[in-house]
């Protein structure tokens, strides 16, 4: 299968149940949780767009219709804003609907991330594509996906974003076994999905961004279901002939984790000029009061 060509398509799976964020996710997608008034998923889409992506397929599941509603045009709302003279809000609402060519398909059953990605085969065709998890956002000068695309352009093989994680988090992620071939680059020899610390070949974890060749789809078909009857993308990636791991610059926030979600609100708030001074003053005052109470 040909892998040459510009990466212009992205796949964003948003069909997961969001168990770690219950009870809020019982009726509302975690990908739509707001950070500073903007849904997490919009940050992901904007990262893809800033990386040169023009076409996006979202793979959705039950109770995820709010995602479709958000990215589709709402003519009634647009008309209401126009009549009220709320031009700034109108421009923002129209901008959201025009970020990229966004398509949707349903994952029929919740059978794992690998199964979800398999629904994108027709959309992808023979082109390389970006895979972005919808509950991970990055703060970086150069978009995380763009960094991976630059590595793909150089080597023309699948590239996986990796990051060093503390030992107590190893069992939460897919972990790579790799040989370092550059300052930030690994030749991946194997991957293990959520190993125990004793079983883990390293503490470099897969971080929710991938540039994949279309060969991944045949690998998914050859991957048997694992724990819970789910097909894991990590297991399918093991079957690729060659893949690289790249430590991207920037910081990742896992919005599927309650503490990380809280940290993202605070840290990204401090990076916003309109909130920075007042929020910093509040946090300093809060810390002083808490310390004085101890």
109 in any annotated domain: yes
Whether 165 and 273 map to the same domain: the answer is: no
Whether 154 and 294 map to the same domain: the answer is: no
Whether 156 and 283 map to the same domain: the answer is: no
Tens of pLDDT, residues 161-188: 999 998 888 888 889 998 999 989 999 9
**Who's near 73: CB < 8 A, 6+ residues apart?**
94, 97
Range of the domain at 139: 9-256
CA 283 vs. chain centroid, Å, equals: 29
Whether 224 and 289 map to the same domain: the answer is: no
Tens of pLDDT, residues 202-241: 989 998 999 999 999 999 999 998 877 889 899 999 999 8
Task: Work out the angle at residue 267's Cα, subtended by the Cα atoms of residues 263 and 256, and round it to the nearest 5 degrees.
Answer: 35
Whether 239 and 284 map to the same domain: the answer is: no
Contact assessment for residue 104 and residue 134, using Cβ atoms and an 8 Å cutoff: no
- 74: pLDDT strictly greater than 60: yes
Whether 208 and 264 map to the same domain: the answer is: no
Give the predicted TM-score (pTM) of the model. 0.90
Whether 158 and 25 map to the same domain: the answer is: yes
Task: For the chain, give the mean pLDDT.
Answer: 90
Q: Compute the radius of gyration of the chain from its Cα atoms.
A: 20
Read off the pLDDT of each residue in 77-84 and give the average, rounded to a whole number: 92
Domain count, the chain: 2
3 in any annotated domain: no
β-pairing verdict for 158-164 and 38-39: unpaired
1 in any annotated domain: no
Contact assessment for residue 112 and residue 231, using Cβ atoms and an 8 Å cutoff: yes
Question: What's the pLDDT score for residue 61?
Answer: 85
Q: How many other C-beta atoms are found inside a 10 Å radius of the C-beta of residue 201?
A: 14
Whether 177 and 268 map to the same domain: the answer is: no
CATH number at residue 118: 3.90.550.10
Contact assessment for residue 84 and residue 40, using Cβ atoms and an 8 Å cutoff: no
Q: How far apart are the first and last CA of the chain?
A: 63
Whether 117 and 234 map to the same domain: the answer is: yes
Cα–Cα distance measured from residue 17 to residue 15, given in angstroms and rounded to the nearest whole number: 7
**Who's near 1: CB < 8 A, 6+ residues apart?**
126, 213, 214, 215
22 in any annotated domain: yes
Question: What's the pLDDT score for residue 197?
Answer: 87
Share of the chain above pLDDT 70, in %: 97
219 in any annotated domain: yes
- 67: pLDDT strictly greater than 50: yes
Whether 264 and 138 map to the same domain: the answer is: no
Whether 272 and 231 map to the same domain: the answer is: no
- 292: pLDDT strictly greater than 70: no
- 50: pLDDT strictly greater than 90: yes
26 in any annotated domain: yes
| Predicted confidence band of residue 291 (pLDDT cuts 50, 70, 90) | low
Question: What's the pLDDT score for residue 2?
Answer: 44
Read off the pLDDT of each residue in 26-36 and give the average, rounded to a whole number: 90
Whether 135 and 215 map to the same domain: the answer is: yes
Question: What's the pLDDT score for residue 47?
Answer: 96
269 in any annotated domain: yes
Share of the chain above pLDDT 90, in %: 66
Residue 108: both structure tokens together: 């029929």
- 194: pLDDT strictly greater than 60: yes
């Amino acid at each position: 299968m040909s892998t040459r060509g510009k990466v212009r398509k992205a796949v964003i799976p948003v069909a997961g149940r969001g168990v770690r964020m219950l009870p809020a996710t019982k009726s509302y997608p975690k990908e739509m949780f707001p950070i500073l008034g903007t849904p997490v998923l919009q940050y992901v889409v904007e990262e893809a767009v800033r990386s040169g992506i023009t076409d996006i397929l979202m793979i959705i599941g039950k109770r995820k219709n709010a995602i479709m509603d958000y990215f589709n045009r709402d003519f009634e709302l647009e008309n209401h804003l126009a009549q009220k003279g709320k031009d700034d809000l109108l421009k923002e609402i129209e901008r959201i609907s025009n970020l990229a060519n966004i398509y949707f398909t349903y994952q029929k059953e919740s059978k794992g991330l690998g199964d979800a990605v398999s629904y994108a085969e027709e959309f992808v065709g023979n082109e390389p594509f970006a895979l972005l998890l919808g509950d991970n956002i990055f703060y970086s000068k150069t978009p995380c996906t763009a960094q991976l695309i630059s590595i793909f352009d150089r080597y023309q093989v699948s590239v996986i974003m990796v990051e060093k994680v503390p030992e107590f988090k190893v069992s939460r992620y897919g972990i790579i076994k790799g040989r370092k071939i550059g300052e930030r680059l690994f030749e991946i020899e194997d991957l293990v999905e959520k190993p125990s610390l004793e079983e883990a070949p390293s503490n470099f974890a897969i971080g929710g961004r991938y540039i994949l060749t279309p060969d991944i789809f045949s690998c998914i078909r050859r991957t048997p279901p694992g724990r819970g009857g789910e097909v894991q993308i990590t297991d399918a990636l093991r079957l690729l002939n060659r893949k690289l791991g790249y430590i991207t610059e920037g910081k990742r926030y896992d919005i599927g984790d309650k503490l990380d979600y809280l940290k993202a609100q605070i840290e990204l708030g401090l990076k916003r000029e309109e909130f920075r001074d007042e929020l910093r003053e509040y946090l300093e005052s809060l810390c002083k009061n808490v310390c004085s109470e101890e």
